[in-house]
Structure 1
């Protein structure tokens, strides 16, 4: 009897995964692990250059194939591969390669891994810039944090980025969302059909080893990729407003800031006399998190869910964050630390958590309960596979029902396709010594 062939998956990454550098890459790796658990045949491709901290996909049994932007070489590659599922990592990859996938593998299920809603993050960043321009003195941002989903829609609706991103979501057969808040925003205000969206948060194994106790921990910690704008803004807010308030109450306090790709502007902030230490990249983020007593994550803008706060829970490290940091992360569960909206309140909560062992212990236990309630791999991994299987089994009907997506794909073929082909021809002629007029 002939054995069925394994499902073939092509993942097109914006970058090669670096799970120790960003939560977005960590989520991609968790999805790949769910696929591997099914025995699926996986190829990972990216037009990006190799990063410093990239994961060894080949060691996991995943094929690595570099690809080029605006090149018909991709057409021959995907036609020969003939995948059953194509997963785009971030919407820009769907923009670049989606029309090629549809042209050469029309029966492949097209899935978008969003990581976060980038247009929401950028709109919130602009809102913060406007607020700081109008009032650069007040350190209370409750007015920004209080804005609801209708206001978020108003911020996003007229931006080019939102139009591009929402169009990509419509064009795909399924979109993986880490944030329930973003699902509601898309369904209620951008009117995406709910069945195009699948809630797929970080997928974790619960910690089994004992966590480092309160009395054996020291220092505050903040961690995050310095290239990610929300993280860099949080560093500046800590440096200029929050950390001086903490040091007033705890004169000997030390803050260790870890992050991948540390730029000179970050190392320039290093000041041991103030207890403000720029530590560069952490080889083992969980190890340094386990030694810290309190994690600081004062995010003034952002989207999605925050890997640094998940890491803190895994390590039993209470945290202090903002409503943006905690958004979509805890449902009705108590938060493992404190959620505050001003520099003064963040500093006060941080000092209290650092000094009060009973409060610290309650926060630590809340973190473990939250992980068990919302982030178990054993729940979300099978749910993802079931959803993908159901979509593949009903693909023709799903596409008929999604007329808006079909319409957008039609127009994409008339714009993105021809622009890409023009760029490819321009590059070819430029190499030959002439450029088309």
Structure 2
């Protein structure tokens, strides 16, 4: 039996974010393939994290800059180590390479943090120029090079890594958030009411989207559809989020949704005016799955449809966004076609069977020809060489200092 260790900065919260759902998918996949799985995190468990032990998974609380992790590695002796985001690889990757040099290192990127940051900075500066030379980019791309394989949820980001950063395709694998079982049903247009937005408020693009809805979209949209409400859901809302609650304007802040499926299914249209971000948007995939159309931006729909018609409308200008929201909300024929578009996108892009056999083949190839695979990635070896010295000695210095 193969053994895999997942290292993360958080515990798994599938009901809080798309990232949490993604991690649970990976866990269940490896378990279905008979991997012996253990999970380590530097975070404290929250009331919303799932009990991995109930899935038969050993859990470990670990610390950065602590050589006790080396002993844990030897004890677990995994064949594969999966890092949840590049920051975790920075902290623990060199230790894995030092203690278990033959363990396969996989990075689950979730999204390209450097792309999200570059877009955020461009929005703040009201600029169309993206700066890819940030410190975050240098750190993140280095982590991708150091790993044997990086999982990408966005084919747009796959192309970006290869063209802008010259990352070899051989160390990248496109594996989006997926759907295993899907039976489309024809939803009833008249049984769905109001607009909805849903997203974890720890994620800055979600907070920005809510501000755009409040200050730019809903001010006019509410007058064009005087009986419609806008319901905002999201995990970890702060006081500044709750302060936007305004029943007189039919703008409701509800906080965490007990069931994302329920709130999305009950809404007629989801609004997602996403101005920056990266990866693919879990909320938009859920809309397709649950038969609820959406209005979003080019960035919101990025890498989610290829050339297929969208599950609603894509609009970047606020005036156009409002017009499309009214049309989608009011026109049953347009709405029903949007639902069908979403179903087709799922069938062609997000069914797990599309990717499963290729993913297994890549994992088997790595296990069979790891040395050959690494020798073809000189930049990764070079970065690993320097990281094993600079990061290692800094970490050991901090550990001694903290004694």
The question of a shared fold, defined as TM-score above 0.5 by the shorter chain, is answered with yes
Asked if the contact 2:193/2:267 (under 8 Å) is kept, the reply is yes
Which position in structure 2 is the counterpart of 1:173? Answer: 148
After TM superposition, give the deviation of residue 209 of structure 1 in Å: 6.4
User: Which stretch of the first structure deviates more once superposed, 45-54 or 303-312?
Assistant: 45-54
Matched, 1:23 2:18: yes
Which position in structure 2 is the counterpart of 1:96? Answer: 91
Matched residues in 1 for 2:357 and 2:236: separation?
34
Matched residues in 2 for 1:211 and 1:426: separation?
63
Moved >3 Å (runs of 4+):
209-212
Candidates 281, 286, 292, aligned match of 2:267: 292
Asked if the contact 2:199/2:235 (under 8 Å) is kept, the reply is yes
Candidates 254, 258, 261, aligned match of 2:236: 261
Please give the per-residue CA displacement for 1:250-282, whole angstroms capped at 9, x wherever unaligned: 122200000000100000000010010001101
Asked if the contact 2:184/2:289 (under 8 Å) is kept, the reply is no
Secondary structure of 1:161's aligned partner? helix
Secondary structure of 2:329's aligned partner? helix
Asked if the contact 2:5/2:80 (under 8 Å) is kept, the reply is yes
Candidates 119, 124, 149, aligned match of 2:119: 124
Secondary structure of 1:19's aligned partner? coil
Task: Output the TM-score relative to the length of structure 1.
Answer: 0.90
Which position in structure 1 is the counterpart of 2:53? Answer: 58
Which position in structure 1 is the counterpart of 2:313? Answer: 338
Task: Output the TM-score relative to the length of structure 2.
Answer: 0.98
Secondary structure of 2:236's aligned partner? coil
After TM superposition, give the deviation of residue 212 of structure 1 in Å: 3.6
Matched residues in 2 for 1:354 and 1:296: separation?
11
Q: 1:302-321 residue pairs with structure 2 within 5 A?
A: 302-321=277-296
Matched residues in 1 for 2:47 and 2:252: separation?
23
Matched residues in 1 for 2:72 and 2:297: separation?
45
Q: Which structure 2 segments of 5+ residues have no match?
A: none
Asked if the contact 1:220/1:294 (under 8 Å) is kept, the reply is yes
Matched residues in 1 for 2:307 and 2:56: separation?
39
After TM superposition, give the deviation of residue 291 of structure 1 in Å: 0.4
Which position in structure 2 is the counterpart of 1:114? Answer: 109
Matched, 1:326 2:301: yes
Matched, 1:195 2:163: no
After TM superposition, give the deviation of residue 211 of structure 1 in Å: 5.1
Secondary structure of 2:355's aligned partner? helix
Secondary structure of 2:5's aligned partner? strand
Which position in structure 1 is the counterpart of 2:8? Answer: 13
Asked if the contact 1:31/1:381 (under 8 Å) is kept, the reply is no
Asked if the contact 2:197/2:232 (under 8 Å) is kept, the reply is yes
